[in-house]
Structure 1
Amino acid sequence: MRTLKYAILGLLNKEPMTGYDIGKEFSRDLGEFWNAKHSQIYPELKKLLDEELIVFEIQISGEILEKKLYSITEQGKKAFLQWLKKEEPLEPTPKDVFRLRMYFSNNLDVTTRIHLLEHQLHQHQERLKHLSRNKERYESIPPLDSDNFGDYLVLDGAIVRETVTIQWLENYISYCKK
């Protein structure tokens, strides 16, 4: 399953983009739950072109700078919508090095445990601030047929995830300090 294929098709289904623009999307909104590097994006764009799921037009910027503006074809839209409608089985729990360390934390002194928990807490608090700032662009939940509904849905889920993780860390920091 080439999930990156469908992420790119989804972006191009919203609007035509350059490869650079697609990369920026992975460092912004999509980066909260999916990532891809330019070194992955450009080979995938080539495959999508070969499969006739996307096309491009050359745009001239300035006097000599050429850039390719990619857009989705009808065949690409069909493939994207077919993928979008599939039910997804629950993925295995993602690997989490911090939780693995905490599993074996009985081998650490309490001060070190507290330090590691507090460090993790700080990182999750910073992530929650970032997510909350992103959510400020919405006054309310966007309409179901809006291009922004999916972004809001995933963003809200990420905020809930971070809030629960912060609560979990605070509980155990408190417990370790007793």
Structure 2
Amino acid sequence: MRVLKYAILGLLDQKELSGYDITRLFKEEVGNFWSAKHSQIYPELKRLTEEEFICYETVIQGKKLEKKMYSITEEGRAELSKWLTTIDPIPETTKDEFMLKAYFASSMSIEELKQQIDNQLSSRKVKLTFLKKRMDDLLEQVNHHITVSSPQFGHYLVLSRAQDRETSYINWLERTLNLIEKEQ
């Protein structure tokens, strides 16, 4: 299944976007739960156009720069709707290289293990700070009042889940460090 196809259709269902806009959204908002590279997005846009799920209009930006502005077609909306209403099984566990290293903790010295945990803890705290800022910005856009019918509700759900995930990870890392320090 081409999940990227549905991610792009969903973005275009919200508003008309250029390929650059879509790439930027994958780096910012969508990147909190799904990743796609520039090299994946543009071929997918071409396929979606060929399948007639999206169309584009070439517009002039500035004096000479042309860009394609993509929009979803009725066929694309039907395809997106079919995917959105499909019940999915729980996904396989995502790959987490740090957790794989943690599994082999007995092969590291205590100092090496603590360094790995400290680095992970620091990175997770930075990420949580970023997510909180994004949430503050989102809530400011809607005057701190979000409802299920708000166009931003999906973004709110994803940001709140990402914050919970990072908070939980940070708490686990701190408990692990405490456990290690008790053993020393």
CA distance in 1, matches of 2:117, 2:95: 18
What does residue range 94-173 of structure 1 map to in structure 2 within 5 Å? 94-137=94-137, 138=139, 140=144, 142-173=146-177
Tell me the secondary structure at the aligned position of residue 68 of structure 1: strand
Q: What fraction of aligned residue pairs are identical, expressed as a percent?
A: 43
Q: CA RMSD in A?
A: 1.1
1:141–1:149 CA contact under 8 A, matched in 2: no
What code does the residue aligned with 2:168 have? Answer: V
CA distance in 2, matches of 1:57, 1:37: 23
Q: TM-score scaled by structure 1?
A: 0.96
Alignment of 1:81 onto 2:85: no
CA distance in 2, matches of 1:70, 1:102: 44
Question: Gaps spanning 5+ residues in structure 2: where?
Answer: none
Please report how far the alpha carbon of residue 141 of structure 1 lies from its aligned counterpart in structure 2 after TM superposition.
5.7
Question: Gaps spanning 5+ residues in structure 1: where?
Answer: none
Mean CA deviation greater in 134-143 or 49-58: 134-143
Please report how far the alpha carbon of residue 63 of structure 1 lies from its aligned counterpart in structure 2 after TM superposition.
2.0
Matched residue pairs, number? 178
Tell me the secondary structure at the aligned position of residue 93 of structure 1: coil
Runs of 4+ displaced beyond 2 Å = none
Any idea what the Cα deviations from partners look like across 1:129-150, whole Å, max 9, x if unmatched?
0001111121546211111001
CA distance in 1, matches of 2:52, 2:113: 54
CA distance in 1, matches of 2:87, 2:150: 22
